[in-house]
Amino acid sequence: MKTHLLLLLTTLAGLQLAAQNFTRRDTLQGSLRPERTSFDVQRYDLNITINPEDRSIVGYNDITFKTVAPTATIQIDLFQNMQIDSILFQNKAVSYTRDHDAVFIQFSQNLVPGSENTIRFYYSGKPLVAKRAPWDGGFVWKKDNNGKPFIGVAVQGTGASLWYPVKDHQTDEPDRGASIKVAVPNGLINVSNGRFLGSENLNNGYTRWDWEVKNPINNYNIVINIADYVHIHDSHNGLDLDYYVLRDNEALARKHFEEVKPMMDCFQDKFGPYPFIEDGFKLVETPYLGMEHQSAVAYGNKYTKGYLGNDMTGTGVGLLFDYITIHETGHEWFGNSITSKDIADMWIHESFTTYSESVFVECQFGYEKAMQYINGQKKMVGNRSPMIGQFGVNFKTGNSDMYYKGALLLNTLRHLVNNDKEWWHILKSYTQHFRHQIIETKDVSTYFTKAIGKDIQPLFDQYLNHTALPLLEFRTTKKGVEARWVTDVSGFKMPVHYSVKNKNFHTWFSNDWQKVEDAKAVEEITVSLEKMLIAVGGK
């Protein structure tokens, strides 16, 4: 979900090598053990105090869960550097053991399947500080231009257990949402996910700010944002739009965020209704670049167009819109509503969201600009490692192809459908079919294969699990010219747009040789690959 890839592009080779050195800690956080699968989280209720002076947290999380299978032990996660003060079950302390960041809580007897229970997990400590958020996980402790605290946290990939006790795996979101109650020094505001319920002066120099999320939410999306914020409220077609910005930036924000309304019109037209209308939509200014925190999108692009004023595609089109606003909001549909079961399948989040950028460009500036923009991303495709990573381990590979190559794959699907009305129907149906669901690659490829009506499972396999690009091979025979795709997988099929003697063709070629219409010699053929995934070789 992070959009910030310039660093990743330069360090990719080293990260890919490191990705093979999985530790027990990685496995404990990334795998589905019986101590995790035996229960289903229903709700989190966080109640904490944050002290900016010593950068500490103290408080508790009430974790309500339903027992799925008989168990006397469950796994909750909290980073080792954070202290467990006590864990209560039915008002009595329970025993536990720690193994790296995993906390194994032991009950006196098996919990009954179907029963609903709550533990209160008291904790405290100083959470890790991010070195360069949001590329690495942790808290960001800064000050605004007036010397007041400006604090945020981003933990995607690293894990939400960096700062609060949680079942830290993407397969389990709290079905009934969460409440986030955060006490901060008087004069500051905390903004979290969902709706604002009110604030309370605790008469000890702190005010508690209460928020509630009605919808299921990814663990890493639960967030705090602390600053001397100004609140700007607006609405659009029944959707509440709220902006929390630093006091000095109010005038800038009011003008800059005018882009939100046409963005919402576009995304709701192409992807379906905003998936968290009960929780509203917020942009919250942060001391780091941005993150897709559900219903509280982190914004740190300094009120510029492009990516901090730059266009990564080199086309100029990227300077027509605010990259962070558009990309991170696109995640509300792709990543927040539709979530991958394992971070190895994060292409499901990033590919669709990166594609949403070109969708917005097309809504605002037309098809040609959109194609110019998405084709400008081709130079950022590395093809060094597969887009799908290693399952069962919580390890970030840093593979940027899940963004750009994945978006280009979707652009390919659009043009192999070769009917825009049908394509937009398929895409919107996809977001509605899997709304608020946790899925895997097979679900995506099966859906599009059925919707398109062609066996494109091998196409997904080639582009997601292999690095080599398909090779379009030609040969001249006595019968004329023939062509085929040379790929790592069998059964591969993909259409090719080509022309022979000013006549245009759209032909599905496979791994088997087949005739190229009207061609007597290879030199007569003009192949157009601009609408397909990426320039391929030919011989």
Do residues 222 and 44 make contact, with C-beta atoms less than 8 angstroms apart?
yes
Please name the residues in contact with 491: beta carbons below 8 A apart, sequence gap of 6 or more: 455, 457, 458, 510, 511
Q: What tokens does 346 get?
A: 């994060």
* Mean pLDDT, all residues of the chain: 92
Residue 323: pLDDT band with limits 50, 70, 90: very high
The whole-model pTM stands at 0.93
Q: Can you give the pLDDT at residue 145?
A: 97
Counting DSSP H helices and E strands in the chain, the numbers are 12, 29
- 393 or 210: which carries more pLDDT confidence? 210
308-312 LR contacts (CB < 8 Å, sep 24+): 312/6, 312/377, 312/380
Residue type, 260: V
Residue 8: pLDDT band with limits 50, 70, 90: very low
Q: Can you give the pLDDT at residue 400?
A: 87
Q: Check pLDDT > 60 for residue 13.
A: no
Residue 396: pLDDT band with limits 50, 70, 90: low
Question: 193 by DSSP, 3-state: which?
Answer: coil
Residue 324: pLDDT band with limits 50, 70, 90: very high
pLDDT tens digits, 76-114: 999 999 999 999 999 999 999 999 999 999 999 999 999
pLDDT tens digits, 150-188: 999 999 999 999 999 999 999 999 999 999 999 999 999
The sign of the torsion formed by the CA atoms of 437, 439, 445, 447 equals: negative
Q: Check pLDDT > 70 for residue 15.
A: no
What is the percent of the chain with per-residue pLDDT over 70, rounded to a whole number? Answer: 94
Q: Can you give the pLDDT at residue 4?
A: 34
Report the pLDDT averaged over residues 371-375. 95
CA distances to 233, 297, 386 from 342, in Å: 36, 22, 15
What is the percent of the chain with per-residue pLDDT over 90, rounded to a whole number? Answer: 84
Task: Give the range among 49-63, 147-161, 189-203, 375-389 with minimum mean pLDDT.
Answer: 375-389
Q: Can you give the pLDDT at residue 535?
A: 38
Residue type, 356: S
Report the pLDDT averaged over residues 354-382. 96
**Which helix (H) or strand (E) is 373 found in, with range?**
helix 367-375
Nearest to 460 by CA among 471, 473, 472, 449: 449
Q: Check pLDDT > 80 for residue 21.
A: no
Residue 6: pLDDT band with limits 50, 70, 90: very low
- Residue 155 zone, left/alpha/beta (φ > 0; ψ -120 to 50; rest): alpha
Residue 529: pLDDT band with limits 50, 70, 90: low
Distance in Å from the first CA to the final CA of the chain = 38
pLDDT tens digits, 53-81: 999 999 999 999 999 999 999 999 999 99
Query: CA 4 to CA 380: how far, in whole Å?
Result: 13
How crowded is residue 255: how many other Cβ atoms within 10 Å of its Cβ?
Answer: 9
Please name the residues in contact with 373: beta carbons below 8 A apart, sequence gap of 6 or more: 313, 315, 317, 318, 357, 358, 361
Query: CA 323 to CA 3: how far, in whole Å?
Result: 9
Q: Check pLDDT > 80 for residue 9.
A: no
Task: Give the range among 177-181, 356-360, 483-487, 496-500 with minimum mean pLDDT.
Answer: 496-500
Q: Check pLDDT > 70 for residue 367.
A: yes
CA distances to 155, 291, 337 from 168, in Å: 11, 18, 18
pLDDT tens digits, 284-316: 999 999 999 999 999 999 999 999 999 999 999
Q: Can you give the pLDDT at residue 20?
A: 56
Q: Can you give the pLDDT at residue 75?
A: 98
Residue 285, φ and ψ in degrees, nearest 5: -65, 135
Q: What tokens does 198 get?
A: 């009110």
The angle at the Cα of 535, spanning 326 to 360, to the nearest 5 degrees, equals 15
Nearest to 296 by CA among 209, 208, 211, 357: 211
Residue type, 94: V
Q: Can you give the pLDDT at residue 524?
A: 86
3-state SS string for 390-436: CCCCCCCCCCHHHCHHHHHHHHHHHHHHCCHHHHHHHHHHHHHHCCC
CA distances to 212, 261, 264, 321, 380 from 235, in Å: 19, 9, 11, 21, 37
Report the pLDDT averaged over residues 138-151. 98
The angle at the Cα of 256, spanning 255 to 260, to the nearest 5 degrees, equals 105
Do residues 217 and 193 make contact, with C-beta atoms less than 8 angstroms apart?
yes
Give helix 441-452 / helix 347-365 axis angle, nearest 10°: 50
Query: CA 265 to CA 239: how far, in whole Å?
Result: 11
pLDDT tens digits, 416-462: 999 999 999 999 999 999 999 999 999 999 999 999 999 999 999 99
Residue 240, φ and ψ in degrees, nearest 5: -70, 130
Query: CA 79 to CA 123: how far, in whole Å?
Result: 11
Q: Can you give the pLDDT at residue 5?
A: 33
Q: What tokens does 320 get?
A: 């027509």
Q: Where are the alpha helices (DSSP H) in 163-279?
A: 250-256, 260-271
Do residues 302 and 256 make contact, with C-beta atoms less than 8 angstroms apart?
no
Query: CA 255 to CA 260: how far, in whole Å?
Result: 10
Q: Check pLDDT > 70 for residue 397.
A: no
According to DSSP, residue 80 is labeled T
Mode of pairing for the β-strands spanning 178-185 and 149-154: unpaired
- 538 or 440: which carries more pLDDT confidence? 440
Nearest to 412 by CA among 309, 534, 325: 534
Q: What tokens does 341 get?
A: 């079961």
Please name the residues in contact with 10: beta carbons below 8 A apart, sequence gap of 6 or more: none
Q: Can you give the pLDDT at residue 514?
A: 93
